Chain A
């Protein structure tokens, strides 16, 4: 199975900050990388697919980049509704595997 890691595991930030989360795969996954946002008690929500494609309806302050083994999710200007946990997931091979998550909370 492909192992996914994320850093940091948590971060504290203020509204308006630029936030970057990193995801790394244990082997090359081309651009088969998705990002999800999960708020407490809610289901995950797809933000980015294919490493850099913005899901319909997702604000443009979210962006993704990377290919191969290293990927980033960037929030250009953190908003109050963005405080949540973010997961990356590879869809290159079965089983699809998720990273352990990055919790973004209020500084």
Chain B
């Protein structure tokens, strides 16, 4: 069965960086884009971007360009999201989610990781 297992909670100081991992299993890792979505406490969902695990190509939301980096290691079926220059308002749960494109061209996020809480505090 498809599983996305994320790394554990992190506590960081303002200005630091954080790198969250997302290990995929149960499907061909290079066959599906991996998206990252975050959710601040008590707030809604915010899309950050995606990585194509096959090519390494990325597409970041404009808000995050210049301070998010998405990478992957195909040898261990793992995607990574690194956010730099952290601020207190980056405190959120960060999710990875598999992007599925069906034959009609529709795409959706069909499997999600369990989430990683990143707390930014001095």
Contact = CB atoms under 8 A, between A and B. Distances in A.
B44 A100 contact: yes
What does DSSP make chain A's interface, helix, strand, loop or mixed? loop
B109 A34 contact: yes
A46 B109 contact: yes
Contacts of B47: 95-98
A45 B4 CA distance: 13
B122 interface: no
Contacts of A31: 106
Contact count band on B: 20 to 34
Contacts of B112: 43-45
Nearest to B100: A49
Contact of B108 (A46, A99, A100): A46
Q: For B104, B108, B115, which residue has the most chain A Cβ atoms within 10 angstroms?
A: B108
A50 B104 contact: yes
Nearest to A98: B45
B59 interface: yes
Nearest to B106: A50
Contacts of A89: 45, 108-109
Contacts, number: 54
B11 interface: no
Nearest to B105: A32
Contacts of B45: 36, 44, 87, 89, 98, 101
A107 to B, nearest CB: 22
Interface string B48-62: 000000000001011
A43 B113 contact: yes
A55 interface: yes
A93 B35 CA distance: 15
Given A98-B47, A101-B44, A32 B110 contact: no
Contacts of A53: 106
B95 interface: yes
A94 interface: yes
Nearest to A94: B59
Contacts of A97: 47
Nearest to B4: A43
Interface in A22-46: 31-32, 34, 36, 43-46
